[in-house]
Each structure stands twice: as structure tokens, then as C-alpha cells.
Amino acid sequence: MENHNSIIIDWFGTYTLDEISEDRDNGFGLYLATGKLKYERDASIQYCGITKGGFYNRLRGHHKAHKINREQEFWLGKLIYPNRTSRHFLEIAESIIIYFWQPTLNEKKRFSLPKPTTLINRWFKTDGSPRYRQHSLCKDLQDVISWDGKLWRTGNLQVWEE
């Protein structure tokens, strides 16, 4: 079996573009753009991407986000593990999400199998408090997505207080 990666992403959201302030934004992470495209009835995750700079600067002139013309919102993801944030691990996480979930506006990475990886997605409100229930827009994006090179495994995590 190929070398297997483990990645944990903490997702915060949802935010409108105006709510992503430049002064609190240190960037370097993943983002999900959600909402409705022209003629769509239901909002969903439309795009997954990476930024090395601030989220605000990346998203305000984004080449795909402008196509989400109704109910546009964003999730901002921070790499928690491995604790050395690098573009390498962000790209692996992005590849798993795009291949498994197939967001409409992502054209690259939808057809190439990702490297064997287990991705854990943990969800938080904008104030940093944990989400005890899955946000409706992320109901199809599992908390755990694992690809071993042959089989996919998925599941959701129950959030409990001490």
C-alpha cells in the first residue's frame, strides 16, 4: 500500500464576503464557496480551493466565485494536522474533497484519483464554537473521508461535550 496521509481541517463558517475582514485574516488554508448557480434551486458547495495569502484578498476577485450569484457564502479551513501548514498537505486535502465530492465549479482534480489519505473535517461556527449538528450545506461532505488507494470509507463524527 502507498504511503497514507492523515489530515485534519477545522472549518469555520459560514461567512459572506463582507464578513471576512482583512485585519483578522491570516489566510493560508482551504476554502469552500457555497450558494446557487444560475438556474439552480438548491444551494450547495460549488468550489473548493487553496490560498497562500489572506482569504479576503483571494475571494474578493475570485475567478469562479462570481458565478455563484445567489446565497453566496464561504467556509474557511485551517490545517490543524499535520501542524506544519504547507501547500503540499493543503493540496492533498483539496484533492480528496474535489474528487470525492465533485464541486460544480472545480474543473481540475475532479478526474484524477487522490493520494491515499484520511481527511477529518471538523466544523465550527464563525465565533469558534463547535457545530453540534451538520450545517445543511455540508450534509453531503462527510466528516471523515478515507481513501486507501482501493476503497473509500466515510462517516460522520458525533460532537460531545466533556
25 pLDDT more than 70: no
Q: What angle do CA 10, 30, 135 make, to 5 degrees?
A: 50
The pTM assigned to this predicted structure is 0.91
Flag whether 108 is in a domain.
yes
Phi-psi region for residue 16, left (φ > 0), alpha (ψ -120 to 50) or beta? beta
Flag whether 100 is in a domain.
yes
pLDDT bucket at 78, cuts 50 / 70 / 90: very high
Flag whether 161 is in a domain.
no
Flag whether 28 is in a domain.
yes
Per the prediction, the chain carries an average pLDDT of: 89
How much is the pLDDT for 61? 80
103 pLDDT more than 60: yes
How much is the pLDDT for 47? 96
How much is the pLDDT for 23? 54
Flag whether 162 is in a domain.
no
How much is the pLDDT for 139? 67
Average pLDDT of span 37-60: 90
31: Cα separation from own chain's centroid: 5
Flag whether 9 is in a domain.
yes
Looking at per-residue pLDDT, the higher value among 114 and 159 belongs to 114
Distance between CA atoms of residues 12 and 127, nearest Å: 8
How much is the pLDDT for 9? 96
Average pLDDT of span 45-65: 88
The dihedrals phi and psi of 79, each to the nearest 5 degrees, come to -75, 120
Q: How many domains does the chain have?
A: 1
Domain that holds residue 19: 5-155
Flag whether 111 is in a domain.
yes
